[in-house]
């Protein structure tokens, strides 16, 4: 949108014809807000007049002629009046530029919040895989005044803005621009055209012309008007040279008279008053058929986008679910593979133990057999000895050896028999011991086989002409026919008061750490980028106050702080400066 368009014009081309070409090219239907701005030959910024030929107007002679497409009149409520997305985007860009250039004063904490909406409008939802540290380095997001007043690095500012960016997840880009405008329209200088004027006493003052009426400011304070006149109180406006006269509807009230430094200033004031009054009254009448159709089309388009967004979000959730399911299956697969590996290792260990126990069992069996054979041999030897004993006894009896020889032989055989019986007993004990060991080995072998079988079978776990100095007089009747609710704007409150989410966001808190942030909203505590922990923090305004260099405060900073302490805001001030009847307020203006 921030682009240059080039058009071919003829000597007879009027301002209206050129304007129509522009709005048709950009697809704009809400044409009443905008105009073509240019710098004249004297260096003054002025607006292209639609009823005059372009070439007859005092446009600075350049080739090609340079114009800026700008909003000339501002809505009272952006959310109610800006219908087309292109209109919203044009206002967003112009208001953002005015804030960044410090043409509209914006306090630091609000500037940070607005910056986050601008980031959401540009980048969409925050994505940690795409929006790496430094992704805002090339973006101009905060007024230079705010940057110079705080001892914070670019990285620290980015951290704060990123935190808000994360908070705006799922907010459409056009909705982010609208949220930006809804907050910006509550700024005191939003949509105000300031003109230097003097009252009859010669006091230097500012006249503010905006969508709601005329306000008078002291010369050193553009934030807080002292007297206000809504458009519904004014019936006629006129000027004669440098004198400007406003006639109130209240005929008991005197004329509201002030003086401008130059005739061209009064021409600009008259044109702005006429345009703003017309829109002010138009808002308080039923919508025209064209506006109704535009609103219906906008609702339909928004609904269609919401449906598309919902479908996209649904597909996104499905994809995320599928990815999570894939990760879960991969994880379970890895776990099963690991479990199988562990089972294989257990099986191999059990197999080795089984083989070792089988080997030991065989060895024990062989030992048992050898012990048995030895016992049988000893038994045979004992029997042979018994037989020899009997034979000797018989022989003794038969041969009648001498008593001593027989006794000696008998003793010898008896001792030998005792030794053989003792050896036999030991062998039998050894055989019994080996037999028990073989049985135990057999039982261990059976247990090992059973454990191996269980391990293998076990399942895995689940998971207007200003340069014409000859025309020194002009007037306009400001009609208000058919309007019933004139001053509904006095019932308004700021976005922060009526929108609980914004109100809480302006109370965001942060720790002393430069990177530990959390957002507080109606959704609760919002996690940091990784969404793995939540931080407890102090109020953002308090944190910025700690990093603030008060020696760099501007006059507007001081005035804003004073308004905050007094509990004043744009609409409370509006109600206050309109108190009393018209005559009282005009008398107050004359006494300034």
Q: Please state, in angstroms and rounded to a whole number, the distance separating the CA atoms of residues 118 and 112.
A: 10
Q: Please state, in angstroms and rounded to a whole number, the distance separating the CA atoms of residues 475 and 152.
A: 53
pTM over 0.95: no
Q: Tokens standing for 450?
A: 């059973």
Q: Please state, in angstroms and rounded to a whole number, the distance separating the CA atoms of residues 135 and 119.
A: 10
- Report H helices in 101-143: 108-123
- Say yes or no to pLDDT of 351 above 50: yes
Q: 44 or 36: which carries more pLDDT confidence?
A: 36
Position 451 scores a pLDDT of: 62
Q: 582 or 500: which carries more pLDDT confidence?
A: 582
**Tens digits of residue pLDDT in 111-168:** 999 999 999 999 999 988 898 888 988 889 999 999 999 888 888 899 889 988 998 9
Position 103 scores a pLDDT of: 93
pLDDT class for 569, splitting at 50, 70, 90? confident
- Say yes or no to pLDDT of 366 above 50: yes
**Tens digits of residue pLDDT in 440-476:** 767 776 776 666 666 555 444 334 566 666 667 777 7
Q: 515 or 111: which carries more pLDDT confidence?
A: 111
- Say yes or no to pLDDT of 249 above 60: yes
Q: What is the spatial order of strands in the sheet that 204-210 belongs to?
A: 227-230, 213-218, 204-210, 193-198, 256-259, 243-248, 234-240, 473-477
Based on C-alpha coordinates, what's the Rg of the chain? 50
Q: Which 3 state secondary structure label does DSSP give 381?
A: helix
pLDDT class for 277, splitting at 50, 70, 90? very high
- Say yes or no to pLDDT of 496 above 60: yes
Omega into 319 within 30° of 0, i.e. cis?
no
Q: Which 3 state secondary structure label does DSSP give 195?
A: strand
Q: Please state, in angstroms and rounded to a whole number, the distance separating the CA atoms of residues 143 and 106.
A: 8
The mean-pLDDT minimum among 13-27, 103-117, 432-446, 458-472 falls in 458-472
Q: Are 294 and 86 spatial neighbours (Cβ–Cβ below 8 Å)?
A: no
The count of C-alpha atoms lying within 13 angstroms of the C-alpha of 428, restricted to the half-sphere facing its C-beta, is 9
- Say yes or no to pLDDT of 352 above 70: yes
Q: Please state, in angstroms and rounded to a whole number, the distance separating the CA atoms of residues 44 and 292.
A: 38
**Tens digits of residue pLDDT in 194-233:** 999 999 999 999 999 999 999 999 999 999 999 999 998 9
Q: 428 or 498: which carries more pLDDT confidence?
A: 428
Q: Please state, in angstroms and rounded to a whole number, the distance separating the CA atoms of residues 16 and 23.
A: 11
Long-range CB pairs of 572-578, under 8 A, 24+ apart, other chains included: 573/188, 573/224, 573/225, 574/212, 574/225, 574/228, 574/489, 574/490, 575/490, 577/215, 577/225, 577/226, 577/227, 577/228, 578/228, 578/229, 578/230, 578/487, 578/490
- Say yes or no to pLDDT of 400 above 90: no
- Say yes or no to pLDDT of 272 above 50: yes
Q: Where are the beta strands (DSSP E) in 457-523?
A: 473-477, 509-510, 517-521
The mean-pLDDT minimum among 4-18, 235-249, 429-443, 497-511 falls in 497-511
Of 174, 94, 164, nearest to 131 by C-alpha is: 164
Q: Which 3 state secondary structure label does DSSP give 488?
A: helix
User: What does the pLDDT average to over 554-559?
Assistant: 90
- Say yes or no to pLDDT of 520 above 50: no
Q: Where are the beta strands (DSSP E) in 219-320?
A: 227-230, 234-240, 243-248, 256-259
Position 517 scores a pLDDT of: 40
User: What does the pLDDT average to over 390-414?
Assistant: 77
Position 278 scores a pLDDT of: 92
């Amino acid at each position: 949108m921030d682009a240059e368009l080039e058009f071919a014009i003829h000597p007879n081309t009027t301002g209206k014809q050129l304007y129509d070409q522009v709005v048709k090219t950009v697809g704009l239907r809400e044409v009443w807000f905008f105009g073509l701005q240019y710098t004249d030959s004297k260096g003054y910024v002025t607006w292209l007049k639609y009823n005059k030929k372009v070439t007859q107007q005092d446009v600075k002679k350049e080739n090609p002629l340079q114009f800026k497409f700008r909003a000339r009149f501002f809505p009272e409520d952006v959310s109610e009046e800006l219908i087309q997305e292109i209109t919203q985007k044009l206002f967003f860009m112009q208001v953002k530029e005015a804030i960044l250039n410090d043409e509209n004063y914006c306090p630091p904490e609000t500037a940070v919040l607005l910056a986050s909406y601008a980031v959401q409008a540009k980048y969409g939802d925050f994505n940690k895989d795409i929006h790496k540290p430094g992704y805002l380095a090339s973006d101009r997001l905060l007024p230079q005044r705010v940057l110079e007043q705080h001892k914070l690095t670019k990285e620290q500012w980015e951290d704060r803005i990123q935190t808000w960016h994360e908070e705006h997840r799922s907010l459409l880009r056009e909705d982010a621009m609208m949220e930006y405008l809804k907050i910006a329209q509550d700024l005191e200088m939003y949509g105000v055209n300031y003109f230097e004027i003097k009252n009859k006493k010669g006091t230097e003052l500012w006249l503010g012309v905006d969508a709601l009426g005329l306000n008078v400011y002291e010369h050193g304070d553009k934030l807080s008007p002292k007297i206000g006149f809504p458009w519904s109180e004014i019936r006629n406006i006129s000027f004669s040279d440098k004198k400007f006269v406003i006639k109130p509807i209240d005929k008991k009230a005197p004329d509201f008279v002030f003086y401008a430094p130059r005739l061209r200033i009064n021409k600009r004031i008259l044109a702005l008053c006429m345009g703003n009054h017309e829109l002010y009254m138009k808002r308080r009448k039923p919508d025209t058929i064209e506006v109704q159709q535009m609103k219906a089309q906008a609702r339909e388009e928004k609904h269609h986008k919401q449906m598309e967004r919902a479908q996209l979000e649904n597909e996104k959730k499905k994809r995320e679910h599928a990815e999570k399911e894939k990760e879960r299956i991969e994880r379970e697969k890895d776990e099963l593979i690991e479990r199988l590996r562990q089972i294989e290792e257990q099986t191999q260990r059990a197999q080795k133990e089984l083989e070792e126990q089988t080997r030991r069992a065989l060895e024990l069996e062989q030992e048992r057999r050898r012990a048995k054979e030895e016992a049988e041999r000893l038994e045979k030897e004992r029997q042979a000895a018994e037989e020899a004993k009997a034979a000797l006894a018989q022989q003794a009896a038969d041969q009648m050896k001498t008593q001593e020889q027989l006794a000696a032989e008998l003793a010898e055989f008896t001792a030998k028999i005792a030794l053989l019986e003792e050896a036999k007993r030991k062998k039998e004990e050894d055989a019994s011991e080996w037999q028990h060991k073989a049985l135990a080995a057999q039982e261990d072998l059976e247990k090992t086989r059973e454990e191996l079988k269980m391990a293998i079978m076990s399942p895995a776990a689940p998971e207007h002409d200003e340069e014409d100095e000859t025309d020194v007089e002009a007037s306009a009747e400001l009609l208000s026919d058919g309007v019933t609710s004139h001053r509904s704007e006095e019932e308004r409150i700021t976005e922060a008061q009526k929108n609980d989410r914004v109100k809480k966001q302006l109370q965001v808190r942060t720790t002393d750490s430069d990177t530990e942030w959390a957002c507080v909203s109606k959704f609760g505590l919002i996690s940091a980028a990784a969404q793995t922990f939540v931080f407890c923090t102090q109020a953002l305004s308090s944190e910025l106050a700690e990093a603030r260099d008060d020696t760099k405060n501007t006059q507007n900073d001081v005035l804003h702080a004073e308004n905050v302490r007094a509990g004043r805001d744009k609409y409370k001030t509006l109600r206050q400066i309109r108190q009393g009847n018209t005559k009282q307020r005009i008398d107050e203006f004359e006494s300034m």
